[in-house]
Structure 1
Amino acid sequence: MYVEDFLKYLIHEKRYSSHTSQSYHTDLIQFADFITNAFAVSLLEVKGQHIRTYMATLIDEGNSSSTVARKLSTLRSYYKFLLRENRIEHNPVQLLKAPKQSVKLPVFVEEGKMEMLLDQGLAFDDTFVGFRNKVVIEILFGTGLRLAELISLKDQDIDHYNHTVKILGKRNKERIVPLNINILNAIADYNKAKNMQEFPVRHEWLIVTNKGAKAYPQLIYRIVNACLSLVSTQSKKSPHVLRHSFATSLLNRGADLNAIKELLGHANLAATQVYTHNSIERLKSIYKQAHPKA
């Protein structure tokens, strides 16, 4: 019921990515199936009690509170849209609250381990693959880019003169992030190696596969996992861990929270404030180790 119109609204007016819009679509289809089977009602006939039963069922099935909250957020957006379009008279989600969520601290790699990985060259030989893999790690740790942002980088986005990179983030928002000299040197070495490769076709993408095609998510995951495995035993070794490591390092060294927000491309400060928990935990650890009365 007006689901396609809602998805067009998300993409064209809210400027959500196709990936995010697809997640909304999946949530709505799942909800529609549930209420059809459980109550024999359509999406336009839904009441608050139907959604409460749906949320309770999700929890009983073992879904986390964050998953339930996300699905409720989808319904909230959908019924706000229907109300705006005069398709319904009352918003069934208006009085519903999402389940409380426990705060999960972002997983990050300690600075010393990242320095060991990058400065000692533990994972990078003087080949095209070695230079490329180093650029991947240097950029993710040195800029805090998201996985999709890294893959979408083009050669022209790197400003070698001003030492910056132009990033197209979520909802097509552009931001400029500075590049340190280590990243620029790594890119220069990588570009030399890339230009020497006999690729079937030359592309404008910065990070490419062994055959010269645009990099894909699983390739970046494999690179990051293999590199971090050399210096860390933690179970989580994803590109997003390096984004967390970037933000945590800045905060620990006294960077302003608003500046970190802009560098990460967060829409609001609340998303950035989660990193203060890591900083506080670090201070507690230092206090316990150093203070005689701790």
Structure 2
Amino acid sequence: MAVDQFLTYLQHEKRYSPHTVQSYRTDLLEFRDFMSQTFELTLADVVYVHVRDFMVWLMEKGSSASTVGRKLSSLRSFYKHQVRVGVVHVNPMVMIKAPKLPKRLPVFVDDQKLDQLLDSAEIFNDSFASVRDKLIIETLFGTGIRLAELLGMREADINFYESSIRILGKRNKERIVPVGEQLVVQLKNYIELKSLQNFDNKSDVLFVTDKGADAYPKLVHRIVGRYLTYISTQDKKSPHVLRHSYATSLLNRGADLNAIKELLGHASLAATQVYTHNSVERLKTIYKQAHPKA
């Protein structure tokens, strides 16, 4: 009951996306089941030591530091809410510290290699699926939007006259993202091609499956992973890699960090500053290759 009420609060008052609410649900139900099966406790009876035992259990079964950190973040939000509504009087999360995360630079792909991939007639053809796949990659790299934002795009969100797209970001925060002329033309051509398909249901969602249903996360992951294999040896080949590539490319070409923050829809500059490390590493590489004293 407490979990359901909290999830309703996230959905209707905090206006979190269905994907985010589902992540909270998964984390909280796993925690609830662990407490019930291990200690025969309800969530209201949990204290600090029980949360510590849960952390140990997660790490012993091989969960990464980032996964443990995310689950603890879900629990912090849950118990903060429980204290606020008077269900719990002592917050068991107050003394809990998340495990330290190893510093990892964002993975990105070289934009010249990406251009070569997208220009390849051997890889892409004129079929609807191929045109859609190419446009998904073009849009992710050309706008830096998140996967959820891509899936939420509708045809009406595109302003062809202003060469921009209205994006509904995290917590339903809107922003306008500019797009290049080439991408505008490709979007027009795709929408026209989409309208000619013999789909049972006509959807105004921009990206759809081969049968006309709304595109979904696994489909986009599969598409991006398949094509990035041609140009990247990195293990990570996700839609977020193209977001990282967008930001890194802007920074390397002298874009202001605050402007990149706005384009990405980051709430704080701290989230954007991680890309400066990639830029510094690039400068070091150039220095070592070109300077006689390197």
Shorter-chain TM-score bucket reads: over 0.9
Which residue identity is paired with 1:88? V
- C-alpha distance in 1 between matches for 2:43 and 2:201: 48
Of stretches 28-37 and 61-70 in structure 1, the one that deviates more from structure 2 is 28-37
- C-alpha distance in 2 between matches for 1:70 and 1:201: 38
Aligned residue runs from structure 1 range 1-294, under 5 A: 2-294=2-294
Change in Cα spacing, 1:39 to 1:280, as seen in structure 2 (3 Å) is same
Q: Deviations over 1:97-135 (max 9, x none)?
A: 111111221111111101212345553223333332222
Shift in Å, 1:167: 1.0
Shift in Å, 1:288: 1.7
Q: Structure 2 unaligned runs (5+)?
A: none
- C-alpha distance in 2 between matches for 1:75 and 1:63: 16
Shift in Å, 1:180: 0.5
Which residue identity is paired with 2:174? E
TM-score (norm 1): 0.93
- C-alpha distance in 2 between matches for 1:60 and 1:210: 42
Query: In the alignment, is the contact (CA less than 8 A) between 1:131 and 1:189 conserved in 2?
Result: no
Shift in Å, 1:236: 2.3
Which residue identity is paired with 2:275? Y
- C-alpha distance in 2 between matches for 1:86 and 1:257: 42
- C-alpha distance in 1 between matches for 2:221 and 2:33: 34
Of stretches 179-188 and 55-64 in structure 1, the one that deviates more from structure 2 is 55-64
- C-alpha distance in 2 between matches for 1:273 and 1:106: 11
Q: Deviations over 1:127-160 (max 9, x none)?
A: 3333322221211110011122112211111100
Query: In the alignment, is the contact (CA less than 8 A) between 1:164 and 1:179 conserved in 2?
Result: yes
Runs of 4+ with >6 A deviation: none
- C-alpha distance in 1 between matches for 2:142 and 2:121: 16
Shift in Å, 1:201: 3.0
Shift in Å, 1:179: 0.9
Query: In the alignment, is the contact (CA less than 8 A) between 1:138 and 1:182 conserved in 2?
Result: no
Of stretches 154-163 and 132-141 in structure 1, the one that deviates more from structure 2 is 132-141
Q: How many residues align?
A: 294
Of stretches 176-185 and 279-288 in structure 1, the one that deviates more from structure 2 is 279-288
- C-alpha distance in 1 between matches for 2:162 and 2:7: 39
Change in Cα spacing, 1:16 to 1:192, as seen in structure 2 (3 Å) is closer
Q: Deviations over 1:22-77 (max 9, x none)?
A: 22122122222222333332211111111112212222222111111111111111
Which residue identity is paired with 1:111? D
Change in Cα spacing, 1:26 to 1:220, as seen in structure 2 (3 Å) is closer
Change in Cα spacing, 1:223 to 1:39, as seen in structure 2 (3 Å) is closer
Of stretches 65-74 and 38-47 in structure 1, the one that deviates more from structure 2 is 38-47
Of stretches 236-245 and 124-133 in structure 1, the one that deviates more from structure 2 is 124-133
Change in Cα spacing, 1:121 to 1:150, as seen in structure 2 (3 Å) is farther
Query: In the alignment, is the contact (CA less than 8 A) between 1:66 and 1:101 conserved in 2?
Result: yes
Change in Cα spacing, 1:19 to 1:196, as seen in structure 2 (3 Å) is closer
TM-score (norm 2): 0.93
Of stretches 284-293 and 68-77 in structure 1, the one that deviates more from structure 2 is 284-293
Of stretches 266-275 and 69-78 in structure 1, the one that deviates more from structure 2 is 266-275
Q: Identity across aligned pairs (percent)? A: 57
Shift in Å, 1:186: 1.0
Q: Deviations over 1:150-208 (max 9, x none)?
A: 12211111100011001111211111100101101111222332233333332212222
Which residue identity is paired with 2:168? L
Q: Structure 1 unaligned runs (5+)?
A: none
